Structure 1
Amino acid sequence: MTMTDTTMKPAAPTASPLQLVSRYGVFVAFLALLVLNIAVTPNFLSWQTLNVNLTQVATIVIVATGMTLVIATGGIDLSVGSLMAISGALAPMIFMGNLLPIDNMALAVTLAFIIPVLAAAACGWFNGFLVTHFRIQPIVATLVFFIAGRGIAQVMTNGNLQVFKNPSFQFIAMGHVAGIPAQVALMVVIAILAYCLIRYTVLGRQIIAVGGNEKAARLTGIPVRRVKTFVYVISGALAGIAGLIVVARNSASDANLVGMGMELDAIAAVAVGGSLLTGGRANIFGTLMGAFVIQLVRYTLLANGVPDAAALVVKAGLIIVAVFIQLRADRT
C-alpha cells in the first residue's frame, strides 16, 4: 500500500473588516439610502423620482469618470466645474450666431457640440502640461483654471444669462434613446468605455502603474508625461460634455452657476467609490455607485426639508470618512 503525498495550499489571506468596508461600503451605503427613502420619502418609487435622480446623477458620473482617471495617476483636477462653465458658455454662442456667422442651423448645432468639448479638452491639456513639464503639483496647476476658467466664461458672455430654445441641441439633455434619457445613455457609454480602457488596454495599465509608482513606471519605459497629459485631456473633455448637458437641461447658460461645486461632487464620488486618492487604483464601477450615493444623499436631504447647503457638509464628511477608511485599510 502506497501513500500519496498531498501538498497543502496556503489559505487565501482574509480581508480585514476595514478592507471589506473599503471594497463594499459604497454598495451598503447605496442600499441603506434606498431603504431609507422608501420608508420616509413620499413617492420615492415613482418614475418621476427615478427620472430626476438619473438625470441629475448623469453629469456627476461623467465628470467623476474623468476625475477617476486623473486620480489614478496620483493627480487631481479642481478645474472641472469651471471647464463646464466655459463649455456651457460657448455652445449657445455658436448656435445662436453670436460667435460665428453660420446660416446652416444643423452645422451650427454640430459645432456647438464639438467646439466647446475641444476647448475644454485643450484646457485639460494645459493642466497636464503644467503638471508634467513644470512639475507643478496637480492641486496648484488645476487651481489656475478653477479660478480663471469661470472668469473666462463670464467674460465671454459679459456676465449675462443666455436663454435659448433649440430642440436639436437640447436633445442631449431632454431627448431619449430607446426610451432612455439621452444623458443617461451617454453616461452609461462613457462609464463602459472608461472601464474597458482601464481593464483591457495597455494604456489603462500604464495609468495604474504611473499612479502606483511613477519612478518605477518611468524606469520600465512607460511614457509618464504622455499618460498624465492624456488623463487631464480626457477629464477636460468630459467636463465639457457635462457642461453641455447642464445648459441644455436648463435651457439657459449662466457662467456664474454652471458646474459650481462639481469638483467636490466628482472627488467625493471617486473617494466613496473606493479609488485611492493617492493613485494606483481606478474603480470605475465604484465611482458610478459613489455618484449615486452622492446624488441620493442630496435628494434625501432636500426631499425631507433639509437645506441644500447641508448637503455640502455631508459630502465633505463622506470624503473624510472614505479617505480615512482607505488609509486604514491599506495599513492592515
Structure 2
Amino acid sequence: MLDSKTMKPKNTPPKPKMDWKLFLQQYGGLLALLVLFVFNAIFTPNFLSMQTLNINLTQVATIVIVGVGMTLVIATGGIDLSVGSLMAIAGALAPMIFMSDGLKDNPLGILLAFVLPVLAAAALGLFNGLLVSKFELQPIIATLVLFIAGRGIAQVLTNGNLQTFSNPSFQYIGLGKVLGLPFQVILMVLIVALAAWVMRRTVLGRSILSVGGNEKAARLSGIPAQRVKYAVYAISGLLAGIAGLITIAINSASDANQVGQNMELDAIAAVAVGGTLLEGGKATIVGTLIGALIIQLIRFTLLAKGVPDSVALIVKAGIIVGAVALQRSRRA
C-alpha cells in the first residue's frame, strides 16, 4: 500500500546509513595519502616534477622493502628489531667482496657482492626464527640479540672504518634508472606485488595469517607453525639485506655505524600506519606501502613549509599513536 502523504510504500525499511567510522577505518590511509598528495600538488612548488617525485620515492623505497618483511613477521604475531643491523652487515660485506684483490673489476665479484650479503642476512633472519620458534623466546628478545650483536658484527667486519667506493655496476641498484624511474623504486614495486600475491594466493600466505591469528589452532589444523616462522624471519632478513645494498650504493660508502640506523622503527611505523594488526592475524602489504608514503609525505610537507625535522619526528610519533588507537577501535 502507498502512504497517502508521501505516495511511497508503507513499512519500507529505511535505507542503511553510511558508516563513516568503518569507512575511515578501511580507507582512511588511502584518503590521507590522497589529501597529502593534492595539498602538495597545489601548495608546494615543483612537487609534481619528476625530480621531486623521484626523491620522495627513493627516500621511501628502502623503508617499504624492509616494511614488507616486517609485515610478514608481525602477521605471525612477532616483531623484528634486527633489520637495521642486518642492513649494516650486508652493507659491510658487499664492498669487501667486490673490492677484494681477486674479484676487483671482475663481473663475478659484482654478482657475489649482490648474492652473498643478502644470503647472509637471510641466514641471520633464519637464526631469529630459530630463537623464536624452536627455543620459544619472545620475538622482541630474540631479535634484540642481533639488534645489538649485528651492529657489532658489521663494525668488526669493517674494523670500524668507512668503506668508500665508486663502482657503477654495483651502484646501479641504488642509482640506476629505467625509463626515468629509479631502479630501486621498480624493485620496491616488484617486491610489494610479489608479497601481496603470496599473502592472497598461496598456502604460505594463509598459513602466516593462521599462525598469527591463533597459533595453537593452526598447529591442530596441521599448519607447520615452526616452518612458517622460519620463513617469515628469513624473508625479513633477506629484504633487509637488499635494503642495505641499496643504501650503500646510494651513498657510495658503507658505514657500519649508520647503515640501517633506526630502520626497524621506520618499518614498524609504516606497518602500523598501513593497517596491519600489531597482534598478528592480519596483514596488508599494500597498506604498508601506503603507510610509508604517508609518513614520507608528511615529513616532506613539513620540511617544505620550513618546519624543523625534529618536529616532523614528533608528528610521526603522533601518527603511530593514532594508528594504534584506530586498530583498537576497529577490534572493538
Task: Flag whether TM exceeds 0.5 (same fold).
Answer: yes
SS in 2 for 1:45: coil
Amino acid at match of 2:92: A
Q: Is the 8 A contact 2:75 2:281 kept in 1?
A: yes
Deviates more, 1:66-75 or 1:35-44: 35-44
SS in 2 for 1:134: coil
- Partner Cα distance (2:303, 2:161) in 1: 29
- Partner Cα distance (2:119, 2:18) in 1: 44
Q: In the alignment, which residue of structure 1 is the partner of 2:196? A: 195
Cα 1:43–1:77 change in 2 (3 A) is same
SS in 2 for 1:319: helix
Q: In the alignment, which residue of structure 2 is the partner of 1:300? A: 301
SS in 1 for 2:78: coil
Q: In the alignment, which residue of structure 1 is the partner of 2:220? A: 219
Amino acid at match of 1:319: I
The answer to whether 1:233 aligns with 2:246 is: no
- Partner Cα distance (1:18, 1:264) in 2: 28
Structure 1 spans left out of the alignment, 5+ residues: 1-10
Superposed displacement of residue 280, structure 1: 0.6
Cα 1:277–1:14 change in 2 (3 A) is farther
* Residues 144-155 of structure 1 aligned to structure 2 (within 5 Å): 144-155=145-156
Q: In the alignment, which residue of structure 2 is the partner of 1:173? A: 174
Superposed displacement of residue 225, structure 1: 0.3
Cα 1:196–1:103 change in 2 (3 A) is same
Superposed displacement of residue 15, structure 1: 8.0
Cα 1:179–1:169 change in 2 (3 A) is same
Q: In the alignment, which residue of structure 2 is the partner of 1:5? A: none
Q: In the alignment, which residue of structure 1 is the partner of 2:262? A: 261
- Alignment deviations for residues 157-199 of structure 1 (CA, whole Å, 9 cap, x no partner): 1111111100000010111234321101110110111011000
Count of residue pairs brought into register by the alignment? 320
Superposed displacement of residue 21, structure 1: 2.2
**Structure with the greater alpha carbon radius of gyration:** 2
TM-score, normalised to structure 2, is: 0.92
Q: Is the 8 A contact 1:60 1:291 kept in 2?
A: yes
Q: Is the 8 A contact 2:54 2:181 kept in 1?
A: no
- Partner Cα distance (1:202, 1:246) in 2: 33
- Partner Cα distance (1:17, 1:76) in 2: 32
Amino acid at match of 1:273: G
Q: In the alignment, which residue of structure 1 is the partner of 2:252? A: 251
Deviates more, 1:290-299 or 1:166-175: 290-299
Cα 1:136–1:14 change in 2 (3 A) is farther
Amino acid at match of 1:85: A
Q: In the alignment, which residue of structure 2 is the partner of 1:161? A: 162
Superposed displacement of residue 118, structure 1: 0.7
Identity %: 66
Amino acid at match of 2:331: D
Cα 1:15–1:219 change in 2 (3 A) is farther
Superposed displacement of residue 261, structure 1: 1.2
- Partner Cα distance (1:14, 1:221) in 2: 42
Q: Is the 8 A contact 1:273 1:287 kept in 2?
A: yes
Q: In the alignment, which residue of structure 2 is the partner of 1:208? A: 209
Q: In the alignment, which residue of structure 2 is the partner of 1:81? A: 84
Q: Is the 8 A contact 1:70 1:232 kept in 2?
A: yes
Superposed displacement of residue 301, structure 1: 2.3
Amino acid at match of 2:190: V
- Partner Cα distance (1:210, 1:298) in 2: 35
Q: In the alignment, which residue of structure 2 is the partner of 1:71? A: 74
